[in-house]
Amino acid sequence: MQYYDLTEMTWPEVEEALTTVRMAIVPVGAHEQHGPHMNESCDAVLATEMAKRLAAVLHPQVVVTPTVNMGVSPHHLNFPGTISLRPETLLAVLRDMVTSLQRHGIDKVLFLNSHGGNQGTLGLACASFAQELGIECYYAKTTVAAKNALKEHIHSPLYGHSCEREVSEAYYLAPYLVRPERLVKGDIVDGGRWEGLRPGSPIQGFYRYEEMTRNGCIGDATKASYEIGEAIVEEALAGLAAAVRALLTEPAARPADRALAT
């Protein structure tokens, strides 16, 4: 698997790579509890692994940057070990990364994110950086593009955290994240406030993860497998690669607006 990753390169190698690189991929993860059967670094590792694979597919047009290995996880803070950044801190980190990348001539950036709690901040980041820094700025959930595989393999009504989807991805991408002997279903709290606040409800709001699940998982991790992970990851990579290629072949994308003011 051949790809460019800044963490594994010397500066003359980066200089050489920059002659073909047109976009940076920034892996964005989290450090938070993942129930009794996954390491807390799960999101950081999965984002990194997905970024490398996507970079291999798109080689030599993209380069992977260092991973943002902590994210916005306040809803998990009552579980031991979780480290959470405030949204403004994550914004500051991303801004500094983008500014540094611009110094090296890179003006397209994709935040490849494995943690749902970061999505709101990433949306704001892309809008702000596009306007203020004149950069083309994108973000993507790592495996959301795998619509068919998810439909086929994931059946829990409530999933998305240390569930059969995430554990399957880990089996395929980084199996050391999983404690196979401890896999359990989510221990869901029935009738809680959270039920009225899930995506799709008329109202949304902040609730703590322990309001929803006593063991920190949802879905049913016991149904996870390497094969499901492979199906999800590979479909997602194909979808991401196609989307990035489309953006890289746009003839005249015009992300910056500072010159547009009347």
Near a second copy in 182-211, by CB under 8 A: 182, 193, 196-197, 201-208, 211
Secondary structure of residue 200 in the 3-state scheme: coil
Nearer to a second copy, 135 or 154 (CB): 135
Distance CA 109, CA 142 (A): 15
Report d(CA 185, CA 188) in Å as an integer. 9
Which residue in this structure is represented by tokens 């309001």?
211
Per the listing, tokens 């980084």 go with 174
Alpha-carbon gap, residue 108 to 98, rounded angstroms: 9
Looking at 42-200, list the stretches that DSSP marks H as alpha helix, in order from N- to C-terminal side.
42-57, 87-103, 119-133, 147-153, 164-173
Q: How far is the CB of 153 from a second copy (least distance, A)?
A: 18
Q: In whole angstroms, how close is the CB of 118 to a second copy at the nearest point?
A: 11
The secondary structure of residue 201, as a DSSP letter, is: S
Binding of a second copy by 103 (CB under 8 A): yes
Tokens of 198: 């899930």
Residues 28 and 112: beta-carbon distance below 8 Å: yes
Residues 115-174 that bind a second copy (CB under 8 A): 120-121, 123-124, 126-128, 130-131, 136-140, 144-145
Pick the stretch among 68-76, 149-157, 166-174, 224-232 that binds a second copy (CB under 8 A).
Answer: 68-76
Binding part of the chain for a second copy, among 63-71, 148-156, 167-175, 221-229 by CB under 8 A, reads 63-71
Using CB under 8 A as the binding rule, whether residue 214 contacts a second copy is answered as no
Least spacing, CB of residue 114 vs a second copy, in Å: 14
Name which of 152 and 196 has its Cβ closer to a second copy: 196
Sole binder of a second copy in the list 52, 53, 75, 115 (CB under 8 A): 75
